[in-house]
Chains A and B, each alone.
Chain A
Amino acid sequence: MLEFISQNVFSPLTAFLLPSAWQPYAVYTLETVTKIVAILIPVLLTVAYLPYAERKIIGYIQNRIGPNRVGFFGYSLAGIGQPIADAVKLIFKEIIIPTGANKTLFIIAPILSVAPALAAWAVIPFNDTLVLADINAGLLYVLALTSLAVYGIIIAGWASNSKYAFLGAMRSVAQIVAYEIAMGFALVGVLIAAGSLNLGEIVRAQEGWFIHWFWLPLLPLLGVYFISGVAETNRAPFDVAEGESEIVAGFHVEYGGMAFSVFFMAEYANMIIIALLTSLLFFGGWLSPFHGIPYLGAPSIVWLLLKTSFFLFVFLWLRATFPRYRYDQIMRLGWKVFIPITIVWLVVAAILVVLEVPPWFK
């Protein structure tokens, strides 16, 4: 379909508007922008509806109904219009900049937090061929971008000129730096097992059914990765950066309206990225759990989306189940528990690969 649009819309349009030397570049740019839009619109829709899903799911877990009023044309439809209503409300609210705040940084901070969360989608493969940028160091790229998300938080905390915001930022920085190391080591285990940094290659290395995926040989790393992912996205039970019982709302206490909602979007986009990466790296991505059975066993994007949805559900489930961690226990878990586990399991994974233990490593 993209080729069709490219040949029938972009080529004539650019041929009409630009000198012929520039035309290939212009067509390429337009094609890439179309692909980016095609990836980002579903992502942003998911980001809009994930809070709704969260409120519903946590509502049912706590024996409530959750939002069920806002619908369309007089029908409530189980509250399906809630995200739209929230978005409209947030757009029309005034953005208040506190006195003494650093205005430039105050505005830049939400942008800095949402930009890496969206840019990480560039290297995510959705099936064997559907990927925007099939780069060799895809895994490293994603890790680098998720590590940049902390800048939005730290700059927001400092620029707000507020003690609560600053405390939230400080907590967040210490937490993210601690968990990033464990996360990086867990990913090193995956790349030892797959022998590649390319996300597509990693999924292809897991060829087979449920048992062949990397979750089994790398089980401790899976646990470390997912829990670090929860900590990295500042989600409950690791949400001390917000900690509304102690520091009001943490780093975004001074933000309102759209500026606040951009932070919100970044958090949910990061959650989706972590859920998607967990299913790509440890659960075979688009591979079917029923490998070998006709129709059901065919690799498809549907499997990837199902797995991602499951891990997103786990995110919400964790939030409904666990109380917030105490801060010193978070630090202890990150530095003294996770990092030693990952280092030990790196050695185990390397031995498994060298000995070519079936059925995972051939």
Chain B
Amino acid sequence: MVELLVFYFFGAVLVISASMVVTIRNPVFAALFLVLCFFSSAAIWLILQAEFLAIALVLVYVGAVMVLFLFVVMMLDINIARLREGFVKFLPVGIIVALLMLVAMSLVITSGYFNREEPAIQVSQVAGYSNTTQLGKALFTEYLYPFEIAGVILLVAIIAAISLTMRKPRSNKTQQPSLQVRASKKERLRIIKMKAEPKQDAGGQSS
């Protein structure tokens, strides 16, 4: 009973925050609502006893991805009035995309994956069950090939992103810490021996 109440609570928060993400005007608030959205879906995963997925969601999306999102959104000077014009112009495209997503989602939901018979004993209630271990075993045995392919695709994406930023020749001046650290006394300091100059006027101003 408690579990159901908790589920409804987080489900409601999830739905409300998700709709706020697309309706709220201020983009910073939209990003913050997206954070809330991830949080409540992580909580729902925790109810399903998928603690690894839940914490990984918080760690990766909330802890890293959304921080960078906020970083960018806060730095942009967004003109909200200009963002809101052209609503009618983009409406048909939006409706088509929404319909496509609706069709895709209903295909998934009606495919029978969601109406499976509940097993008599929940796997997660067996003593010594660890969600992380099971997930690791599945990833590295049964799904090893797709897993490795996903890894390679991510690597390609990283290299592409870096090469996009490096495309232009470097225009800004940067310091090279490695050169600075390597600099020695010999390169920077020259000690010259010279004779002491004779005093100009004795008893004058001491300087």
Are the C-beta atoms of B74 and A136 separated by less than 8 Å? no
On whether A147 and B175 interact (CB within 8 A), knowing A135-B51, A137-B55, the answer reads: no
CA of A268 to CA of B8, assembled, Å: 36
Query: Can you list 14 A-B pairs, Cβ within 8 angstroms, ordered by A?
Result: A25-B2, A105-B32, A136-B51, A137-B51, A137-B52, A140-B55, A140-B132, A141-B55, A148-B62, A158-B28, A177-B67, A184-B59, A197-B132, A326-B177
Mask: chain A, 123-150; 1 = CB below 8 Å from B; 0 = not: 0000000000001110011011001101
Q: Which residues, 1 to 40 on B, are CB-close (under 8 Å) to A?
A: 2, 28, 32, 35
Are the C-beta atoms of B74 and A148 separated by less than 8 Å? no
Are the C-beta atoms of B130 and A180 separated by less than 8 Å? no
Q: Which residue of chain B has the shortest Cβ distance to A329 in the bound complex?
A: B177
Q: Which residues, 167 to 187 on B, are CB-close (under 8 Å) to A?
A: 174-175, 177-178
Mask: chain A, 79-110; 1 = CB below 8 Å from B; 0 = not: 00000000000000000000000000100000
On whether A177 and B64 interact (CB within 8 A), knowing A136-B51, A137-B51, A154-B71, the answer reads: yes
| A173 interface hit (Cβ, 8 Å) | yes
For chain A, the bracket of interface size reads 20 to 34
Mask: chain A, 153-191; 1 = CB below 8 Å from B; 0 = not: 011001000000010011001101100100010000000
CA of A140 to CA of B58, assembled, Å: 10
| Smallest CB separation, B66 vs chain A (Å) | 9
Are the C-beta atoms of A147 and B63 separated by less than 8 Å? yes
Q: Which residues of B contact A260 (CB under 8 A)?
A: none
| A151 interface hit (Cβ, 8 Å) | yes
Which of the residues B2, B59, B177 comes within 8 Å of A144, measured between beta carbons?
B59
| Smallest CB separation, B144 vs chain A (Å) | 17
Q: Which residues, 21 to 62 on A, are CB-close (under 8 Å) to B?
A: 25
Closest 3 CB pairs of A and B: A147-B63, A144-B59, A144-B58
Which of the residues B35, B70, B132, B174 comes within 8 Å of A328, measured between beta carbons?
B174
| Smallest CB separation, A219 vs chain B (Å) | 23
Mask: chain B, 108-131; 1 = CB below 8 Å from A; 0 = not: 000000000000000000000011
On whether A154 and B70 interact (CB within 8 A), knowing A25-B2, A144-B59, A177-B64, the answer reads: yes
| B153 interface hit (Cβ, 8 Å) | no
On whether A173 and B71 interact (CB within 8 A), knowing A137-B132, A144-B59, A151-B35, the answer reads: yes
CA of A147 to CA of B61, assembled, Å: 11
| Smallest CB separation, A263 vs chain B (Å) | 18
Q: Which residues of A contact B161 (CB under 8 A)?
A: none
Q: Which residues, 48 to 62 on B, are CB-close (under 8 Å) to A?
A: 51-52, 55-56, 58-59, 62
| Smallest CB separation, B57 vs chain A (Å) | 9
On whether A140 and B52 interact (CB within 8 A), knowing A158-B74, A328-B175, A332-B177, the answer reads: yes
Which of the residues A144, A166, A169, A170 comes within 8 Å of B63, measured between beta carbons?
A144
| B160 interface hit (Cβ, 8 Å) | no
Q: Which residues, 197 to 230 on A, are CB-close (under 8 Å) to B?
A: 197
Q: Which residues of A contact B58 (CB under 8 A)?
A: 144, 148
Are the C-beta atoms of B59 and A136 separated by less than 8 Å? no
| B97 interface hit (Cβ, 8 Å) | no
Interface residues of B, Cβ cutoff 8 Å to A: 2, 28, 32, 35, 51-52, 55-56, 58-59, 62-64, 67-68, 70-71, 74-75, 130-132, 174-175, 177-178
Main secondary structure of the interface of B (DSSP, over half): helix
Q: Which residues of A contact B2 (CB under 8 A)?
A: 25
Are the C-beta atoms of A180 and B63 separated by less than 8 Å? yes
CA of A143 to CA of B71, assembled, Å: 21
Which of the residues B32, B59, B177, B178 comes within 8 Å of A143, measured between beta carbons?
B59
Mask: chain A, 317-331; 1 = CB below 8 Å from B; 0 = not: 000000000101100
Q: Which residue of chain A has the shortest Cβ distance to B174 in the bound complex?
A: A328
Are the C-beta atoms of B67 and A154 separated by less than 8 Å? yes
| Smallest CB separation, B141 vs chain A (Å) | 17
On whether A136 and B130 interact (CB within 8 A), knowing A148-B58, A154-B70, A328-B177, the answer reads: yes
CA of A140 to CA of B74, assembled, Å: 29
| Smallest CB separation, A311 vs chain B (Å) | 23
CA of A105 to CA of B71, assembled, Å: 16
Q: Which residues of B contact A155 (CB under 8 A)?
A: 32
Are the C-beta atoms of A154 and B74 separated by less than 8 Å? yes
Q: Which residues of B contact A177 (CB under 8 A)?
A: 64, 67-68
Q: Which residue of chain A has the shortest Cβ distance to B55 in the bound complex?
A: A140
| Smallest CB separation, B77 vs chain A (Å) | 12
Are the C-beta atoms of A151 and B55 separated by less than 8 Å? no
Which of the residues B62, B75, B178 comes within 8 Å of A170, measured between beta carbons?
B75
| Smallest CB separation, B160 vs chain A (Å) | 18
| Smallest CB separation, B64 vs chain A (Å) | 6
Are the C-beta atoms of B56 and A140 separated by less than 8 Å? yes
Are the C-beta atoms of B64 and A180 separated by less than 8 Å? yes
| Smallest CB separation, B6 vs chain A (Å) | 12
Q: Which residues of B contact A151 (CB under 8 A)?
A: 35, 67
